[in-house]
Each structure stands twice: as C-alpha cells, then as structure tokens.
Structure 1
C-alpha cells in the first residue's frame, strides 16, 4: 500500500500541485522518502502545499483502510517562520519534532555540516564491512 502512496505523491509533483523541498540548488526538490513502513514527506512551507499533503494522507487512509500513527508522526521545520509553523501544525494535526532526527540510522540536522553527517555513515559502513570481511575470511579458511 505504501507504494501507492509514493505513486500518488509523484503524480501530484508531476501535476505541479506539490513542490517538495529544495535540499540543494544542484538537484531537483525532494518530495518523499520511503523505506518499508516509514515515509517522510518533504514540502514547501505554504498553506497551499500543506492542504495538498493533508488531502493526500486523508485519501490514502480512506482508500487503504490504514491510518497514520499520530503518536509516531511529527512535523519538522527549517527556515519557517513561527506563524506558518502554527498554521501547518493546525492543518496537519501532528506535533512538532525537533532536530536532530535519526532516520534509518542517519542523523539529520539542517544545521549540521554535511561532511560530518556522511563521516558517520561511512564509519558505520566500514565497521559493518570489516565484520563481514572477517567472517568470510574465517569461513573460507575452514573449507
């Protein structure tokens, strides 16, 4: 079912109804990220875009019979004035989360230097790869 949600997001972006969030000037805006049963929606901090996102989620809940877990769902803001934050929280009905946020083991923080964030990811991968390498070399030695 989550795949349908992702396709609907892409459709709204294609129609120009959803802009997403501009992460960097050299890449297209990002609208969503999905992994298993986790979904992050990225949007422009405007009332118009929030209404589109809210309608998408309501339609998804009705069509799928599933509902968003309000205890696990949060809204995160960056570069958004307090007045707009209040309006968005009112429309969406979710509480505000605070950075840093961990998603799939990666710490997300708009104020953090990107090279530091990727250092953590690279270190985790190196540790994991090292343990795999040792395991395979040990097993290969037994053959």
Structure 2
C-alpha cells in the first residue's frame, strides 16, 4: 500500500473512531472523558482508550471490524496488547476472549517514553524531546523558503 493511501486509511479510521465516541454504548476512560480522547494514532501505531466495560469493548470491536471490511486493514493481534485496570473476574476473561490480545504489563515504551500507571515526569519525556530537537536542528542547516519568496 502506498504511504499516501495508508495515510488516507488512517484518517478514515480516526474519523470513525470519533463517531464511535458518540455511540450510547461507548464509555470514555475516566482520565480521557473530559477531553473526549478515544484514540491516538502515530504512523502505524494505534492506542485506544475506553472504560473497561464489556459493552464499550464490543462497540470498539464492531467499529474495528467495519474498518477492516472497508479498508482491508486490520489490527495485528500478535503485536497488540490490552491493558485492563479495575477489570476483574468474569468480565476480564470475557473481554480477553473477545479481543484475543495479550495482557500488557507496565511500564511499556511508546515513542521512547516509558508509560507507567502513574503520571509521566518531565525526565521521562527527555528521550523524545531530544529526538525532536535533533530533527528540528536539521532544519537550521537547510534553506527554508517562505511562501511568496
């Protein structure tokens, strides 16, 4: 798949996930509800956030199935993890049976940042900030033209 076509598919996925949030069956993760954050996509990485209730998980899976049927793209189960907080017993087993993902363990690295159950400190952001700084410093060596020049 061409990078441009992939980008359009990810834009479509993002839009249908935004529609997902208006479903009566979807409940936001408590830390994401105020800003109505349901997902983060960076290149080919996708993180989904929701309440850990069975109905929300089933709703997400329905939307992902619709995306797969439309685009031909699907989540790679072998490379995916699910993180469940406050979900125990039968609910946890039911959800794990539905999704087929391995249970992830904290801390986990994402974009060079170690994600943990507690708040991330500024020091933990430093590897990402250094990468961004190196990337933007390359711009200084190139001639940047302004529109109209």
TM-score by length of 1: 0.77
Corresponding position: 1:11 with 2:19: yes
Q: Check 1:125–1:84 CA distance in 2 against 1; reply closer, same or farther (3 A cut).
A: same
What is the alpha-carbon distance in structure 1 between the residues aligned to residue 68 and residue 112 of structure 2? 28
Q: Check 1:10–1:127 CA distance in 2 against 1; reply closer, same or farther (3 A cut).
A: closer
Q: Unaligned regions of 5+ residues in structure 1, if any? A: 138-143
State the partner residue of 1:66. Answer: 73
The answer (yes or no) to whether the contact 1:20–1:31 under 8 Å persists in 2 is: yes
State the partner residue of 2:123. Answer: 119
State the partner residue of 1:141. Answer: none
SS in structure 2 opposite 1:53? helix
Corresponding position: 1:22 with 2:26: no
The structure 2 residue matched to 1:87, chosen from 90, 94, 117, is 94
Q: Unaligned regions of 5+ residues in structure 2, if any? A: 1-8, 142-149
Q: Shift of the alpha carbon at 1:28?
A: 2.6
Q: Shift of the alpha carbon at 1:98?
A: 1.0
The structure 2 residue matched to 1:103, chosen from 93, 110, 126, is 110
Q: Shift of the alpha carbon at 1:57?
A: 1.1
Q: Check 1:125–1:54 CA distance in 2 against 1; reply closer, same or farther (3 A cut).
A: same
Q: Check 1:24–1:68 CA distance in 2 against 1; reply closer, same or farther (3 A cut).
A: closer
Q: Check 1:39–1:126 CA distance in 2 against 1; reply closer, same or farther (3 A cut).
A: closer
TM-score by length of 2: 0.74
Q: Shift of the alpha carbon at 1:23?
A: 1.6
SS in structure 1 opposite 2:73? coil
